[in-house]
Structure 1
């Protein structure tokens, strides 16, 4: 992993982790310390990245309301407001859309751009 401040590859991993469990790093060149999420859209997010991604994917895929998502995760013990869902969606939806467009054009490493599922539910390339 390169340094997010100076771009140097002289980086060492620190033994401690963040409160959310992310790895910490220290640049030998500029002495900056950072973690796995530094320099990303979710850098200062209070919640783990996988929870945020799951919320946004469920919002986009199943068209759930903001309040429904907050309530669904509240039942699971994760408390956030519907406004947080709105902010996460605004940050991540354009990135997800760009990635899906890139993969649809065949630049994602897939062998074929078309696929189908047969009667047994097994995907096959077409």
Structure 2
């Protein structure tokens, strides 16, 4: 194992582990000690990596507050405070989002439904732009402090960068900034439809975040809200049991897919 301090390839195992069970090493060049976590984003954590993953999964997947998560893991013999959960979310929620966004590039259809919903941050309303395709798969989500042309352009630009897809049809609710933003970013060949009825699908899709957001009693900072909303949407989309809106998936298949995807997500998390 290479030394994370001097990057030397000459290191030797001490044939012992630290308190968390990670193998200890000593560099033959700089004589410094290190373990498997040293030099990684998991360094200085007081919990095993698999427990950190499960804590973050509980936070993003289920309706559990910071204290609920800490209380739940106390039953499993791991004692930590809600601040540990908050720190884990702050450090690793972006890891989930980045990895999952990269995995779904090029996997959405060319028909998008775009809409905004409101998120309260430190007593002020912010705007969460979201888009899904005709099968209900996530295109992108972006939190902004204003609902204007600049925010709309930024959202469509990011959506194309994330998905790698130029849509053929975009349905919006008729906000004044959307036509110009679509023309500037997506081009004039895109079929832009305006209809409240046609956007009902994404209006219903907002409920996933809204149901998770209400028990949290709002966010304290814009940065934490943006980080959480993006990671939540990515994890929620990753665990969708259906790939099409009308697809039938049995309960046994749902459970099997969930377990498989958790295992794959844990592998991604541990190698990030």
Distance 2:19 2:83 in 1: 23
Q: Matches of 2:13 and 2:98 in 1, distance apart?
A: 31
Q: Find the counterpart in structure 2 of residue 17 from structure 1.
A: 17
- Aligned counterparts of 2:46 and 2:84: Cα–Cα separation in 1: 10
* Larger RCO (CA under 8 A, 6+ residues apart): 2
Secondary structure at the residue paired with 1:25? strand
Any gaps of 5 or more consecutive residues in structure 2?
A: 107-241, 258-272
The alpha carbon displacement at 1:119 in A equals 4.5
SS in 2 for 1:6: coil
More helix by percentage: 2
Structure 1 unmatched runs, 5+: 107-114
Match of 1:110 in 2: none
Take 2:74 and 2:101, find their aligned partners in 1: how far apart are those partners?
33
Question: Displacement, 1:22?
Answer: 0.4
Bigger radius of gyration:
2
- 1:10-48: CA deviations, max 9, x gaps? 121111110111001111222221001111222111221
Quote the Cα distance in structure 2 between the aligned partners of 1:105 and 1:119: 24
Task: With the length of structure 1 as denominator, give the TM-score of the two structures.
Answer: 0.79
1:83 Cα deviation after fit: 1.2
Q: What is the Cα-based RMSD across aligned positions, in Å?
A: 2.2
